[in-house]
Each structure stands twice: as C-alpha cells, then as structure tokens.
Chain A
Amino acid sequence: MRCRKCGEKAVINMRQHRLSLCKQHYLEWLPNHVLKFIEKYEMFLEHDRILVAVSGGKDSLALWDILWKLGFHTEGLYINLGIDAEIAYSNRSMKFAKEFADQRNLTLHIADIKRDYGESIPEISTRTRRGRDKPCSLCGLIKRHIMNRFALDGQYDVLATAHNLDDEAAILLANTLAWSLEFLARGEPVLPSKPGFLKKVKPFIRTYEREAAAYAILRDIEYIRDECPFSIDSKQLYYKKYLNEWEENQPGTKLRFYLNYLSAIAQGAFPVRQESAGQLALQRCPQCGQPTNTGSLCAFCKLFNET
C-alpha cells in the first residue's frame, strides 16, 4: 500500500477516510486533522491556557504532543490513583507522563489521592458501597472532581481530555441501549463553562483510537500499554469490541454513529436538564465548595465521609 500524498510505502491505512499515508505525511496529517476540529467546535484559542488531563496512556500523551506541536499553551495534570495491583500501574503510568513532560520541557502537575485525601482507589473501593460494585465509576467521579478543582484553582481557560472517537461511540452505544436520556444529552465535544465548572473539551473527538496509537508509536512516545487492572471485563471494552466488528465490515460506522448523534442533539432530540446559574452558585458543597445538585455534601466528599 502506498501513501496517497507521495507514493512512498504507507504505514497506516484509514479505511474510514479512504486514506493511506507514509510516516512523514501521517505525522503531518493528524495534527492538522485535530486542529481542524478544535476550530470547528470552537474548543479554544491560540492564547488560552489549557490544562491537559494526562494518564500516561497513548491517547493523552499523543494529544499533549499534538497540542504542544501546534503551539498551544498547555500544562498537564496527572492524577495518581494509587492503583498498583502487581504491575505498579499508577506509578508506572506517572513515570511515563513525567518522562514525556521532561523531554519536552513541559509543566506536569501531579495530584496524588493517597497523599492528598488519605486513601487510594483500591482502598476507597473496598470501604464504600459505591466502589464495591463499580470501581470505574468511582475513579471517574474522583478524577472529574480533582480535574475541575485543579483547573479552577489554577485559573486555566479550558480543560482538555483525550477522549477519542472510540470512547465516545462506546459510551453512546451504552447510553442508547439503556436509553439514558440525561447522559445522551451530554455527549458533545465541548461542555461550556458554568458557575463552578470549567469549560471541558475533547480535541480527539474525531480521532480513532487506532490513529492516536499509531501517532504515539510513530513519534516514539513511550506510554503505558498495560490495561488498568480494574478495567478488565469493563463494559466499555465490551462495547468497543462490537463496534470494531461492525467497523471492519462497514468502515466509518463509528464515525457515522457519533456524527449522526451530534446532528440529533442539534435538532433537540435530547433536552438538557439545565440548572440555572443562580442555582449552581447557591448550591455548593459545604465541605469543598464545589457545585452540587443537592445543596448538601457533593458525591466526592460523601465518599470520604462514608464509613
């Protein structure tokens, strides 16, 4: 297979785009592809301060590398969740994130939940009712809380996460199968800021997971290849497996699924339950000060108060 731009040997074939590219042209193409959608969805501007959520995996390091190459003002945030099992998962992920930042002279901030809150994810999972059944939901809750708090305290303009098209298609499939209308209303590439919440963006929203991995490999980015021990048998992996089977039979299935969903949102298919700015300003967690729907302790603080 040959590169469509120069005729050299291709290193990647993207059937959904009917495009095969050599190393040089792929490394030019992906950053421009990402930039196109940063602009299309008005994610951020040239002068904005961007906090990139970094896990040490291929997606977040590839995203940070692309934003850095494009000249955006970025800093990274790594959250050490204390997940070690037998593979020192969190500490090894953190090492990859640190090495990446050091090599590029970028600033990486590190939050450590064991150090800052006294317990690791496995410890909280064992202690709390919520964590026992669903450690992944616990992890999501904790990461969202810390990222939002850190981003607001640091007065960044925007928080960027490396959710890719496969992530979004899998979440969309899960929410569609469950008809979770509330969650179906929230799957857009940009979540605007509101009182107590920073603007959140997903610059990889039109990037396949395979494309992000290829970029990381071609750029010699070292990343953690092990799966989080808690994600084995996760529902997201289950849905991704089926989406990939459909994709192989009909290239572009995942992209069409997500883009048609965005069109449905734009047509008002999923009304958003919108708290007013006034409500959000008033309903603050008495412990941490972050917004909550209830006016009492937020879900994050409840976790640490549950015995």
Chain B
Amino acid sequence: MKQNHISASAHLAVRSGELITDDEMVKPGDLIELIPVISGG
C-alpha cells in the first residue's frame, strides 16, 4: 500500500471476503479490495 501511495489509515484491505493486515503477503493472482474508511459527512 505504501509503495502505491495508498494510506493504510484510510483503507481496509479485504481478500476473499476476509480482512487482512498490512503486513500480509500478497500472491500473484490475489484479488484485493481496498475499502475506503474515511467519509466526509
């Protein structure tokens, strides 16, 4: 996330429906959903 300039404080990462921490190893082919957690309402 850091390499891609994505704020880990502002997103949660989900793989196969499960939350993963930011030290998780990601393999080629893994589909990661980054869910923004910051709202401005």
Contact = CB atoms under 8 A, between A and B. Distances in A.
Interface of A: 1, 10-13, 20, 23, 55, 57-59, 166, 209-210, 212-214, 217-218, 225, 227-228, 231-232, 234, 236-237, 240-241, 244-245, 247-248
Given A244-B9, A248-B8, A248-B9, A228 B20 contact: no
Given A245-B7, A248-B9, A237 B21 contact: no
Interface string B23-41: 1100000000001111111
Given A11-B19, A225-B35, A234 B40 contact: yes
Interface residues of B, number: 20
Contact of B41 (A1, A210, A228): A228
Contacts of A241: 7, 10, 38
Nearest to A13: B21
Given A11-B18, A13-B22, A210 B40 contact: no
B40 A217 contact: no
B40 A240 contact: yes
B12 A217 contact: yes
A236 to B, nearest CB: 5
Contacts of B8: 248
Contact of A236 (B7, B20, B21, B40): B40
B40 A227 contact: yes
B12 A237 contact: no
A240 B19 contact: no
Contact of B21 (A11, A212, A234): A11
Interface of B: 7-10, 12, 14, 18-24, 35-41
A247 B9 contact: yes
B19 A214 contact: yes
A236 B38 CA distance: 10
B41 A57 contact: yes
A181 to B, nearest CB: 24
A225 B35 CA distance: 9
Nearest to A232: B40
The 9 A-B residue pairs with the shortest CB-CB distance, nearest first, are A237-B40, A213-B37, A231-B40, A244-B9, A234-B40, A11-B19, A1-B21, A236-B40, A13-B21
B37 A209 contact: yes
A217 B14 contact: yes
A166 B9 CA distance: 10
A11 B7 contact: no
B35 A231 contact: no
Given A13-B21, A57-B41, 7 more contacts: A13-B23, A58-B37, A166-B38, A212-B37, A218-B19, A234-B40, A241-B7
A248 B7 contact: yes
21 contacts: A1-B21, A1-B23, A11-B20, A11-B21, A13-B22, A20-B21, A57-B41, A58-B39, A209-B39, A210-B37, A213-B35, A214-B12, A217-B12, A227-B41, A228-B40, A231-B39, A231-B40, A237-B40, A240-B40, A244-B9, A248-B7
